[in-house]
Amino acid sequence: MIEKVKGCADRVILLGHVKDKSIEKEGKEVTARELALTGKLSSITCANADAIGFIYREGNKCIITFETNNELICGARPAHLRNRKFTISEEAVDGTLTTYWDRIFID
């Protein structure tokens, strides 16, 4: 289904929830977050993506991280996103919302 959607737009953004997964790394069991899909769909979807980001709130800001670490399965092929995090929106005291998607989509 994702392949059919890709033909309809220049960019396709998939949103999903994360789940905790236990993985073994260097002989130790580590809990990591990954995309919550059944079976191998998570691995297949992530392998075909150009970037995997984790979005979270910090105060009045919405932040997306592409930083790879032991606790979060993220990453990006585009050099300007690789191992970085960005504020993508913030709400001012008066309720005005400012977005910064131009930091992600630079073309």
Q: Is residue 6 part of a domain?
A: no
Q: Is residue 76 part of a domain?
A: yes
Q: Is residue 1 part of a domain?
A: no
**Cα-trace Rg, the chain:** 16
Range of the domain at 46: 17-103
Question: Partners of 27 in the beta sheet?
Answer: none
Chain center to CA of 104: 11
Q: Is residue 4 part of a domain?
A: no
Chain center to CA of 69: 13
- The share of the chain scoring above pLDDT 90, in percent, equals 38
Q: Quick: pLDDT tens for 33-44.
A: 788 888 888 888
52 has a pLDDT exceeding 80: yes
Q: How confident is the model at residue 14 (pLDDT cuts 50, 70, 90)?
A: confident
The total of structural domains in the chain comes to 1
